[in-house]
Chains A and B, each alone.
Chain A
Amino acid sequence: MAENSFNFHHTLHHHGSRDSYGFVLRPQQLQRYGEYIHIYKEEEEERSQKWKIFLEQQENLDQPEEQVANQEVLQVETTTESREEAGSEGRRDNDDASVSSSHSNTSKEQNRSEESTEGAQLLGQSEKKVQYNEGPQEVHSTERPQEEVQCVEGPRKEVLYVEDPEVKVQKTKEEPVKLPEEEVQPPEASGVPSETPEELHVSEEGEKKDLSKTSKAGKVPYWGQIRPSLKVIERLMSSRVHEQHHVKDKKSDRNGGDQLPVIEEDVSVEEEPDDGVEEESNVKDHVDDKVNEGRDERKVEDEPSLEPFLHWNQELEFLVHGGVPKDLRGEVWQAFVGAKARRVEKYYEDLLAEEANADESNDDNNTGVPEKWRKQIEKDIPRTFPGHPALDEHGRDSLRRILIAYARHNPSVGYCQAMNYFAGLLLLLMPEENAFWTFVGIIDDYFDGYYTEEMIESQVDQLVFEELMHEIFPRLVGHLEFMGVQVAWVSGPWFLSIFINMLPWESVLRIWDVLLFEGNRVMLFRTAFALMELYGPALLTTKDAGDAVTLLQSLAGSTFDSSQLVLTACVGFLAITEARLVELRDKHRVSVLEAMEERSRQGKVWKDSKSLATKLYSFKHDTGRDGRSSEGDNSLSGSASTFDDFLCGLSSDAELDCLPDLQDQVVWLKVELCRLLEEKRSAILRAEELETALMEMVKQDNRRELSAKIEKLEQEMYGLRRALAEKKEQEAAMLEVLMRVEQEQKITEEARVIAEKEAAAQRREFDSLREKYDEAMGLIAQMEKRVVMAESMLEATAQYQSGQTKAQFVEPPGAVRNQSTTGENTGRGIGRLTFGLGWRDKGKGRPEAGDGNTGGAADT
């Protein structure tokens, strides 16, 4: 396919092979890349379809008027795509950016024709832009008429390319093996305007470069609008830019002068409904509808928390995880970062104009880009994607302009290695000024504090990453640490380069898709964890540090399965959220700041000594050259220090020549001496001043240090306080437990007392029972005595009775009867007694009982 053929073309151009983006492939990965090309292609087709449907839906919901035009865009897209795929054209890399732009141009052209006939269709963007400048920004543009002219020129040139897709496809069909150098010819060279917009812009820059030598104001860097179908995304994603925008307004004040904030507001808010505003002047019929619609849209923008937005966002997120289609990528990225909302008219241009000024006047002392950055940028430009077909001389000029403009825009960052790659990548996907604003968004927002002189946030992120690694992959980290490998050795470069050159390009771009969409650095962490998840098992088998690092590097470098990587990252590590990272960053930032201050204190000594050395060095040179005058001074003023000589060396040298004779010379030298002494005195004063200033600075430094310490102590205090609170809580709990135990003890005590009482009572009872028993026993003994008595009485009675019966025969019956009743009574009583005591003296009582019985029987 296109990718395949592309590789072949570039083998002519460069000794290594290149992928479909024009980047070098490592020889050992060529084969694997070949295997994945087909998968990439299938994925690409699938996602193109999905995005197409999505965007169509959005338009239907959002802007029914634009529907027709955009459908046409998409149609053109697909047809060109299929053509591209069918015809083996070898310029895919440039097309990534250009195809998309030319599509939008096509739609513009079609719109224009429709407008001329029906008078009710959308305007081409080129016209819009011009009118826009004339309309709301009238004051602005009249102040700078040149800008207006340029703005007209810019987009009109764009219109020239409208016929592009046709021509280009034919052309590429005819010459499939075409070197990229040829393609990037200046437009004058080819009669037919068949260049891609990127090429145009490059060549335009070429012209401008020439212009810049003569006039600095003539520069208008190329700015391209994104296709209308993506405006919905742009608008909604830009809402997160607006908050930060005020800062930039202030920054831009020095360039824009008056009313910039107001104008800026207009730009950011009215961009969307500008269709409506445009038509107001042209198409009277639709004016009202359009304007109303525009206002509605603005309302939507003001309330981003609307229900449909959430749904929309989820859907978009899903699509982004699946990847952004190649031909949309450049524009979608701009929309995500909010390049348009960030853009300040003329700002980029002014930065470049300032730079041109600084070049001419050769003063880099005040606001200019420090020499060290400029030098570093120069060093790095040829080393940025070396040999990439799009980064030829013109491409490199664009890259240089972006980097230098950025260094001017944000001197706290200036230039840091790695930024060259980002700017280079963006330039491959979009026009120069768009790339600049996207770049600004990424470095200023997403990676704020990352690439500054101290690289604090980058170090913080590594500490955070290490902590999370310990948490998520304890075994792997343990193994690596055992071998002496620090995770940050490898992850540091990953983060700093946002995986550029670390992973295959397809994967890098997919990660960027998500990262730019999310608007923070969460994706960096998730991707790194995904890589660890994928390659951790392999790493566990390594036996030494070198092997482990080598393996991880080479495995990461061959992560061609970009979908698997992104899926693992986005689904597998949902727990890694921005909130969590912010929290951990705050925690680790303190230690990084401390280490940095330690360093800067040591570094300062070295820097000071170095600068002193350079001063002395240059001083030596200069005195050598102005030897004549210095000697004269020295002979007259032995007390004057050599430093003073040096100070006046240059000025005295010039004056010396015009002195007529020795007399005058002596007089002049005397005067000069006085002046020198004066100067010396002032120099000493100045030195003292400087010393105090230095002391002040040192103090301030101490203060900073102290404040850091205080911060740390405060944190410690906070920790201690928390610990104290915890202790207190524990104490309270303990107390409670204690109380409970005490209560329980009390209860048991009570229970014991009660029990004791009960025991006493029982004992008393027992005693009383025993008493009773004794009593009873006493009674029994008494009774026995009585029984014995009774028995004896009974015996006596029995004896008496027997005596009576014998006498009965003589006695009268009455007397007998009396006798018998008494006998009966006693007999009965005795019988009763015998019965009662029978059980006690069964053995001995038998004869008695028998007696009793006989007595009883005798009774009856």
Chain B
Amino acid sequence: MGCASSLPDRSSGQLGVINSDSNGSTDAKSLRVKLVLLGDSGVGKSCIVLRFVRGQFDPTSKVTIGASFLSQTIALQDSTTVKFEIWDTAGQERYAALAPLYYRGAAVGVIVYDITSPESFNKAQYWVKELQKHGSPDIVLALVGNKADLHESREVTAQDGIDYAEKNGMFFIETSAKTADNINHLFQEIGKRLPRQQPEPST
């Protein structure tokens, strides 16, 4: 896989209690969440994951073949811990045939585009539709405009992203894996939006 396995100390041990429910929508104390990253090739999906899980950024990252897996646990403000099981998928169009394998049963779908590429924004919209149609019914969707550091060559306005996300009931954010801007924030926000079994305000 394009990205290596996560470091052992990160992936295990931090989380004492693990829910057996793979959709991760149970216990308020600790959640286990399957998250899938989708989006056009080269928009920086792997880089976002690497930044989030290892805090690294490699400008010359490898092409992801098929999909790659990493996991990371974070604590929310309400002291809930969320373990993200992240499937980072290959971006090329034809790999879409394999995508259902990875987004099936995912509780979170993160759809990434590159703010310097309108084409990747189009592709993002395709993925949104695909997940709305074939994803889990209560899937939490996030639209991410990556490479926000390249604002001088921006071609998709933030407003376009906001509008589209609003229309589809998604969470929207612009990030930069290079500068680490908004990366942790993205996952924190996703954590907050996860459905809890106990009726809690999911703000």
Which residues in A have some Cβ–Cβ distance to B below 8 Å?
A: 26, 28, 372, 376, 379-380, 382-387, 416-418, 420-421, 451-455, 458-459, 483-484, 486, 488-490, 492-493, 496-497, 500-502, 543-547, 549-550, 553-554, 557, 596, 599, 602, 606, 610
Contacts and interface: CB of A to CB of B under 8 A. Distances in A.
20 contacts: A379-B42, A383-B62, A417-B65, A420-B63, A451-B94, A454-B94, A459-B97, A483-B22, A484-B105, A489-B69, A492-B67, A493-B66, A546-B83, A550-B6, A550-B11, A550-B71, A553-B4, A553-B69, A557-B5, A610-B126
Interface in B100-130: 101-102, 105, 122, 126, 129
Contacts of A501: 1-2, 62, 65
A455 B63 contact: no
A617 B153 CA distance: 21
Nearest to A493: B66
Nearest to B7: A28
A549 B8 CA distance: 12
B66 A372 contact: no
B65 A489 contact: no
A596 B62 CA distance: 28
Nearest to B84: A546
Contacts of B133: 602
A672 B116 CA distance: 42
Nearest to B83: A546
Given A546-B83, A553-B5, A486 B101 contact: yes
A550 B12 contact: yes
A484 B122 CA distance: 32
B67 A489 contact: yes
A496 B66 contact: yes
A421 B85 contact: no
Interface string B1-41: 11011111001100000101010000000001010000001
Nearest to A497: B65
Contacts of A493: 1, 65-68
Nearest to B105: A484
Contacts of A554: 4-5, 8
Contacts of A496: 65-66
Given A489-B101, A547-B12, A416 B7 contact: no
Nearest to A605: B129
B131 interface: no
Nearest to A482: B20
A546 B71 contact: yes
B92 interface: yes
A486 B101 CA distance: 8
A246 B25 CA distance: 58
B2 A546 contact: no
A605 to B, nearest CB: 10
A459 B42 CA distance: 24
B147 to A, nearest CB: 13
A599 B67 contact: no
B8 A386 contact: no
Contact of A545 (B64, B85, B91): B85
Contacts of A550: 5-6, 8, 11-12, 69-71
A545 B98 contact: no
B88 to A, nearest CB: 11
A543 B95 CA distance: 30
Contact of B92 (A417, A483, A546): A417
Contacts of A502: 1
A379 B94 contact: no
Contacts of B41: 376, 379-380, 417
A416 B4 contact: no
B52 interface: no
Given A418-B65, A501-B65, A492 B98 contact: yes
Interface string B127-171: 001000100000000000000000000000000000000000000
B194 interface: no
B119 to A, nearest CB: 9
A455 B94 CA distance: 7
B60 interface: yes
Nearest to A542: B12
Find the residue from B2, B61, B64, B66 having the highest chain A CB count within 10 A.
B66
A380 B8 CA distance: 29
Nearest to B86: A546
A386 B61 contact: yes
A386 B12 CA distance: 30
Contact of A382 (B4, B5, B60, B68): B60
Contact of B98 (A376, A386, A459, A544): A459
Contacts of B177: none
B22 A549 contact: no
B69 to A, nearest CB: 5
Nearest to B92: A417
Interface in B42-84: 42, 58, 60-71, 83
B102 A489 contact: yes
Contact of A488 (B4, B22, B101): B101
A489 B22 contact: no
Given A383-B63, A453-B94, A501-B65, 16 more contacts: A26-B4, A382-B60, A386-B61, A417-B63, A421-B63, A455-B97, A455-B98, A493-B67, A493-B68, A496-B66, A545-B34, A547-B12, A549-B69, A550-B5, A550-B70, A553-B4
